[in-house]
Structure 1
Amino acid sequence: MFASAFGASPTPMVVTDARGSDNPIVWVNDAFVALTGYTRAELYGRNCRMLQGQGTDPGEIRRMRDAVATSKKIACELFNYRKDGSAFWNAMTICPVRDEGGAVAWFFAAQADMTDKRRSEQAMRGTNDELERLVDARTADLQAALEQKTALLHEVDHRVKNNLQVISSLMLLKARRTPEGEARDALQSMAERVGALSTAHRMLYSAGDVTRFDLREFAADFLADLTAGIDPDRTTVEAEVDSIAVSAAMAAPLALMMHELATNAVRHAFPNGRSGRVSITARRDDGGLRLLIQDDGVGIAAGPVNPAGFGHSLVEMVVRQLRGTIAWNEAMPGTRVEITIPLDRAN
């Protein structure tokens, strides 16, 4: 019954005599005959190595022979040859079959033609290799384009910085040659504002990521310039600014706004030789960027009136541009300016 079932099975099967000389083939089914192209008469009495050839892996042959010699079950895959010389990949599972006394009497092997599977795998590997090559080439192109764009943006920021510095220098030169009064003060203020913008572009130029602007770095640079021109014994400027990376598009507006608020506090909060302190705080929370400029000076109402000044309007215009909110409050003493600016999640 088993022989009849195995004989009709579509799976190629072979039985060899473990006690015969050179482990000869003693039975095959029709599927094995169809797979190899040999007749039963050509197969019986011969060793299965007759299917091996030049392309058969010696290492896999050695592994199979060791398993047979030690009567162990093994699964392997060999490159075999049919009677007509055509090659195929032969996957087989070889099992020892013992007699009633426990001695190995036969070896039974079920086999499968894996040629189509191997071809598909090879084609897939070829496709994967080609895809990897295309991806690598595309990645290299994108990297080159990104480097070119970065270099271009660096160059733009560098040139803008240089041009702004020239403009600021020209305005300062003109201010020095202008008699004291509103015109001179206006030129001086505008030159400083242009200088703040120049600092922002210089930082973008020197940064590794041209799409980001670090607020803490700008604040440190800007405050160094601001405190260099004041008497530290009379006016103290303190800053606690988080390292907040904002988009490059926000660099100029934020630089201008921080410059305007801090400069106005230093210049106007402490008239007539009065001493005081200015604090700048910048934090990031769920609401975005929260900026606080506070001084302990005379306050908004008591401050000197400057008909030609427009710092208050400039700050509010910048805050609106950044879609933020601003609140001017008397701090008793001094002035407290609170600004909230939304930050995109990408920032």
Structure 2
Amino acid sequence: MTGFPTGPSLPTGVTVEVFAAAFEASPTPMVVTDPRRGDNPVVWANGAFLALTGYGREELYGHNCRMLQGPLTDEAVLQRMRVALAAGRPFEGELLNYRKDGTTFWNGMTINPVRDEAGEVVFFFSAQADMTDKHRLEVAMRDANDALEREVAERTADLRSALEQKTALLHEVDHRVKNNLQVISSLMLLKARRTPEGDARDALQAMADRIGALSTAHRMLYSEGDVSRFDFREFTADLIADLAAGLDEERTRIETEVDSLALSAAMAAPLALLIHELATNALRHAFPEARRGRVAIEARRCAAGMRLVVEDDGVGMASAPDNPAGFGRTLVEMVVRQLRGNLEWSDAGPGTRIAITIPLTGADAP
């Protein structure tokens, strides 16, 4: 290491030769260049650097370190290094270098300027490290990540395809059930028309209407994009539109105030029966002798899930005519039990008020 300054920074009794011996014995590759000579050549390298590059000292000394560069060395990193060295600043970076035998290695280097007492850069000292294993691991991890992303993408595509097939199948099921229910309802209506007036005809008519409500429920599910859930506000509006189609709006009307609740598709059929039964019972029995009135349907979120209220301003339960063959109240109570709900019948003064609390938990929660 001839030519190193021996300024006052060296401890007493410690010579440049002592430092040179320590650096020579270090397992860390080290090299020193002299910017005062043309092309900043190598003036010293330790044994670890020779082992890393495969060159001998006589092949390195007097030559610039660019002899370690090759076609795949990153030009952008080289440019940053050149700018730093030209300004006398330290540099840190990683470069793909080439050994004497042409094999490559990733060289992690730190280059620091060595200045004399006047502050002039007289040497550049670089400590280096073979980062090849690190880069190989990074490449392996990147390849593994890419493979994992491809596998996830393929499985996602498979699941999406399976979901689309399931959706199409469920839509087809709802469509066919709707059509079959419409056929059954039509047959029952046809039979009702050919049946003499009386309880039998009324029963056939009522059952046809109930089947029609179930058909409407499946029609709504068929039109929904998500086969697992439906919007209760739109669902109720569609049901009431069917009921109100034959009403004399000057005499009776149906009003609704329903929250937009996303409910499980499994609740569609029982809710269709429930709303249809309560609304039609009110329309048939609450307003005798051409009495004017209204039926109000309200559904709101509540702490327990959903509260459904059907209220009319008619004659009330006490004044309504008895119907020994009636099945409506029994059906309502049965459906409420199926939905694990609570049912309350009360006098609305005037009229009747039916309040139903239905729990919405898990998949059924809004």
Partner of 1:167: 184
How big is each residue's C-alpha offset from its partner over 1:107-150, in whole Å with a ceiling of 9 and x where there is no partner? 11111101001111111111111111111111111111011000
Determine which of 250, 266, 277 is the counterpart of 2:294. 277
Determine which of 74, 79, 88 is the counterpart of 1:62. 79
Distance 1:77 1:130 in 2: 27
Partner of 1:185: 202
Pairwise CA distance, 1:40: 2.6
Sequence identity of aligned pairs in percent?
71
Pairwise CA distance, 1:224: 1.6
Pairwise CA distance, 1:274: 1.9
Q: TM-score scaled to structure 1, two decimals?
A: 0.96
Partner of 1:47: 64
1:89 maps to a residue whose letter is: W
Partner of 1:214: 231
How big is each residue's C-alpha offset from its partner over 1:5-62, in whole Å with a ceiling of 9 and x where there is no partner? 4333322111111112221212222221221222333322222122222332333333
Pairwise CA distance, 1:338: 0.6
Distance 2:216 2:186 in 1: 14
Distance 1:296 1:234 in 2: 12
1:232 maps to a residue whose letter is: E
How big is each residue's C-alpha offset from its partner over 1:203-241, in whole Å with a ceiling of 9 and x where there is no partner? 100111111122111211121222222222222221111
Distance 1:318 1:196 in 2: 14
Partner of 2:14: none
Partner of 1:97: 114
Q: TM-score scaled to structure 2, two decimals?
A: 0.91
Partner of 1:322: 339
SS at match of 1:209: coil
Pairwise CA distance, 1:345: 3.7
Alignment of 1:332 with 2:349, yes or no, is: yes
1:277 maps to a residue whose letter is: R
Gaps of 5+ in 1: none
Paired residues for 1:1-347 under 5 Å: 1-347=18-364
Pairwise CA distance, 1:103: 1.2
SS at match of 1:19: coil
1:282 maps to a residue whose letter is: A
1:176 maps to a residue whose letter is: R
Pairwise CA distance, 1:85: 2.7
Pairwise CA distance, 1:316: 0.5
1:185 maps to a residue whose letter is: D
Segment drifting more, 72-81 vs 310-319: 72-81
Distance 2:236 2:100 in 1: 84
SS at match of 1:308: coil
Distance 2:230 2:212 in 1: 17
SS at match of 1:107: strand
Distance 2:235 2:77 in 1: 68
1:240 maps to a residue whose letter is: E
2:105 maps to a residue whose letter is: F
SS at match of 1:338: strand
SS at match of 1:346: helix
Partner of 2:8: none
SS at match of 2:220: helix
Gaps of 5+ in 2: 1-17
Partner of 2:9: none
Segment drifting more, 166-175 vs 69-78: 69-78
Distance 2:235 2:82 in 1: 75
Pairwise CA distance, 1:300: 1.3
SS at match of 1:119: helix
Distance 1:245 1:11 in 2: 67
SS at match of 2:316: coil
Segment drifting more, 71-80 vs 264-273: 71-80
Partner of 2:6: none
2:284 maps to a residue whose letter is: R
Distance 2:101 2:267 in 1: 77
